[in-house]
């Protein structure tokens, strides 16, 4: 069953040939035979378990029936995860039209066009399609294992994308909530700044008005002579400092007096009560002599609020970091042969980023991207990830698609760094021979070039089900021989230097 819930995944199969529909039923629902082989009405079956997953199969013989089935599934809040569409279904609409209509109704459904066309004809059709990047293709006659793998992998991918949309929505709500708090705090600070500006303007009035004004000011006011002797103290200052004016006037002010530069004072009153005050000093005149005006504001509550807000933000950051670690662990638990791969790659990627002196923010972005760079493999069946023999062409294409799948999962999350793009590009190469976009040179993000080198070194140095470890020396030889061709020379040199001169080693776990 799904790791996320106990509901079966809904699968839509559409073909004008009843024997093909029956074949789908036999593959995905072997415990139930078709009730009426001649019926063209929609049939629904549920197979309890298949490769750990359950499927709810809906069969349609024509494209317009399939569109109505999708429309009804959305209305009922139970959408399809995967749809297998026959390309030609006379006399009704063909699979191309049906796919377009389904895409308009439900962009999240994964569509496989099934056809008896030759591969060259299928390629021509894919080029002409306006939505070819959202489709997969399968040629008849298909094999049972192909249907099972497509259904399992794409249903799991559909579920993961669904869960990440929920996570993204939750994170957006948290960000909006924190933003509102910051806006309110900013507005309060603007009010305080405006009040301070008005208070400072009033200080230039006549000495009598000046004395009366500072006496009743909400801020604490001290007048100090050039020797830092207290000459005047208003009631607000008495409350903030916790000392009566008659006890302090005539005494030396113990704190450093620096005009124009605000400082914070940690104050303890006579009764042991502590407070934090912000003090600003400006030059003025008092009784005809040069003096200093010290303006005190009790910021104890504001500091408490700032600390609480920072604690909340740190907690949110830790939650995001924990989520990233959980995602990485979820991927690696499905493949014991590559367990710890992302963890080791992230450590090397961070070391390379530091070696080429990227900013702290960029280093953190590289580390975060590396920690989840293989998240797209969550959509692959475990038997492909752990297969000891040579992969078939379709299996290789499914594995190479993991960068695009990862991008589709991550692109909706508002990271402080371009995580989705970095992960998408980590298999691109400097000469344009990489995938999935065939980017080259400066078209590839620097962070992705760092991740690409780190991934290659760790992969070659580690054991895989299809080969033993090649060894770290061979891995570094690969980087040295192909720098400027496949790998960024600056990144390659930094990697080689870390191992040769600085004793870098992968973490043991």
What's the gap between Cα 205 and its chain centre? 57
> What six digits make up the tokens of 358?
């990227």
Architecture of domain 9-162: 3-Layer(aba) Sandwich (3.40)
- Phi, psi of 139, rounded to the nearest 5 degrees: -95, 145
Each residue's pLDDT tens digit, 75-98: 999 999 999 999 988 888 998 999
In this structure, the number of other CB atoms found within 10 A of the CB of residue 111 comes to 23
Whether the link from the prior residue into 173 is cis, omega within 30° of 0, is no
> Residue 133: CB partners within 8 Å, gap ≥ 6?
none
Architecture of domain 203-298: 2-Layer Sandwich (3.30)
How far is Cα 105 from Cα 386, in angstroms, rounded to an integer?
A: 37
The helix/strand/coil state of 148 is helix
- The secondary structure element, H or E, covering residue 282 is strand 274-286
Helix crossing, 360-371 with 446-461: angle to 10°?
50
> What six digits make up the tokens of 430?
């400097």
Residue 466, CB-side half-sphere exposure with 13 Å CA sphere: 10
- Phi, psi of 353, rounded to the nearest 5 degrees: -60, -40
Model confidence at 1, in pLDDT bands (50, 70, 90)? very low
Each residue's pLDDT tens digit, 371-386: 888 888 887 776 666 6
CA triple 159-164-169, angle to 5 deg: 130
In this structure, the number of other CB atoms found within 10 A of the CB of residue 472 comes to 16
Asked if residues 469 and 462 have their Cβ atoms less than 8 Å apart, the reply is yes
- Phi, psi of 88, rounded to the nearest 5 degrees: -120, 120
Query: Tell me, what's the pLDDT at 489?
Result: 96
- The secondary structure element, H or E, covering residue 348 is helix 341-355
CA triple 130-133-136, angle to 5 deg: 110
Model confidence at 492, in pLDDT bands (50, 70, 90)? very high
- Phi, psi of 126, rounded to the nearest 5 degrees: -65, -35
- Phi, psi of 209, rounded to the nearest 5 degrees: -65, -40
Each residue's pLDDT tens digit, 108-152: 899 999 988 665 555 555 545 555 555 788 888 888 888 988 888
Model confidence at 215, in pLDDT bands (50, 70, 90)? low
Q: Which one has a higher pLDDT value, 489 or 409?
A: 489
Query: Tell me, what's the pLDDT at 422?
Result: 96
The helix/strand/coil state of 326 is helix
Query: Tell me, what's the pLDDT at 166?
Result: 86
> What six digits make up the tokens of 151?
């259904």
Where are the domains positioned within the chain? 9-162, 203-298, 306-501
For the entire predicted model, the pTM comes to 0.45
Query: Tell me, what's the pLDDT at 380?
Result: 73
Overall average pLDDT of the 10-17 stretch: 93
Please report, for residues 341, 374, 469, 474, the alpha-carbon distance to residue 461 in angstroms, rounded to integers and kept in the order given: 11, 17, 5, 8
How far is Cα 231 from Cα 257, in angstroms, rounded to an integer?
A: 14
Each residue's pLDDT tens digit, 390-426: 777 887 788 788 889 889 988 988 888 999 999 999 9
How far is Cα 98 from Cα 105, in angstroms, rounded to an integer?
A: 11
> What six digits make up the tokens of 110?
């994964």
What's the gap between Cα 441 and its chain centre? 25
Reference 347, options 429, 451, 420, 422; nearest CA is 451
pLDDT surpasses 90 at 29: no
In this structure, the number of other CB atoms found within 10 A of the CB of residue 189 comes to 11
Model confidence at 320, in pLDDT bands (50, 70, 90)? low
Query: Tell me, what's the pLDDT at 186?
Result: 74
CATH number attached to the domain at 306-501:
1.10.3210.10
Reference 62, options 30, 15, 130; nearest CA is 15
CA-CA-CA-CA dihedral for 331, 335, 340, 342, to nearest 10: -50
> What six digits make up the tokens of 474?
């061979």
> What six digits make up the tokens of 450?
């760092």
Beta 43-50 vs 9-14: how paired, if at all?
unpaired
> Residue 332: CB partners within 8 Å, gap ≥ 6?
338, 339, 340, 341, 342, 374
Helix ranges (DSSP H) in 54-94? 63-75
How far is Cα 115 from Cα 503, in angstroms, rounded to an integer?
A: 56
Average pLDDT, the chain: 80
pLDDT surpasses 70 at 287: yes
Please report, for residues 34, 55, 112, the alpha-carbon distance to residue 45 in angstroms, rounded to integers and kept in the order given: 9, 8, 20
Query: Tell me, what's the pLDDT at 206?
Result: 56
């Amino acid at each position: 069953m799904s790791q996320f819930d106990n509901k079966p995944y809904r699968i839509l199969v559409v073909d004008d040939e009843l024997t093909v529909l029956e074949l789908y039923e036999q593959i995905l629902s072997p415990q139930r035979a078709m009730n009426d082989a001649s019926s063209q009405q929609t049939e629904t079956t549920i197979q309890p378990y298949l490769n750990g997953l359950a499927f709810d199969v809906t069969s349609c013989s024509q494209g317009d029936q399939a569109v109505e089935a999708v429309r009804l599934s959305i209305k009922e809040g139970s959408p399809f995860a995967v749809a297998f569409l026959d390309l030609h279904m006379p006399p009704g609409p063909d699979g191309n039209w049906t796919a377009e209509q389904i895409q308009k109704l439900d962009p999240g459904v994964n569509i496989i066009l099934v056809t008896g066309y030759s591969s060259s004809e299928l390629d021509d059709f894919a080029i002409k399609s306006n939505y070819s990047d959202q489709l997969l293709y399968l040629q008849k006659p298909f094999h049972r294992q192909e249907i099972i793998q497509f259904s399992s992998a794409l249903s799991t991918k559909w579920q993961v994308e669904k869960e990440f949309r929920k996570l993204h929505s939750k994170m957006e709500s948290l960000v909006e909530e924190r933003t509102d708090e910051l806006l309110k705090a900013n507005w309060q600070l603007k009010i305080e700044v405006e009040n301070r500006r008005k208070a400072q303007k009033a200080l230039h009035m006549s000495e009598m008005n000046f004395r009366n004004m500072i006496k009743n000011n909400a801020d604490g006011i001290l007048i100090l002579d050039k020797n830092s002797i207290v000459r005047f103290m208003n009631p607000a200052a008495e409350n903030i400092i916790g000392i009566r004016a008659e006890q302090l006037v005539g005494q030396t002010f113990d704190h450093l007096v620096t005009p124009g530069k605000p400082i914070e004072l940690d104050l303890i009153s006579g009764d042991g009560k502590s407070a934090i005050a912000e003090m600003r000093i400006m030059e003025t005149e008092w009784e005809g002599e040069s003096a200093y005006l010290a303006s005190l504001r009790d910021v104890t509550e504001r500091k408490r609020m700032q600390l609480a807000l920072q604690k909340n933000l740190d907690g949110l950051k830790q939650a995001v970091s924990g989520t990233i670690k959980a995602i990485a662990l979820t991927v690696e638990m499905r493949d014991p042969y590559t367990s710890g791969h992302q963890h080791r790659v992230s450590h090397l990627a961070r070391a390379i980023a530091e070696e080429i002196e990227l900013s702290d923010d960029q280093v953190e972005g590289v580390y975060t991207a590396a920690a989840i760079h293989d998240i797209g493999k969550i959509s692959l069946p475990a038997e492909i990830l752990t297969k000891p023999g040579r992969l078939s062409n379709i299996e290789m294409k499914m594995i190479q698609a993991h960068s695009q799948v990862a991008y589709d999962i991550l692109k909706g999350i508002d990271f402080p760094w371009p995580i989705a793009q970095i992960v998408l590009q980590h298999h691109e190469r400097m000469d344009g021979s990489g995938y999935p976009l065939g980017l080259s040179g400066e078209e590839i993000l620097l962070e992705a070039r760092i991740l690409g080198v780190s991934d290659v070194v760790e992969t070659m140095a580690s054991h895989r089900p299809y080969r033993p470890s090649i060894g770290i020396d061979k891995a570094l030889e690969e980087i040295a021989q192909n720098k400027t061709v496949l790998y960024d020379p600056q990144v390659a040199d930094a990697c080689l230097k870390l191992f040769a001169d600085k004793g870098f080693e992968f973490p043991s776990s």
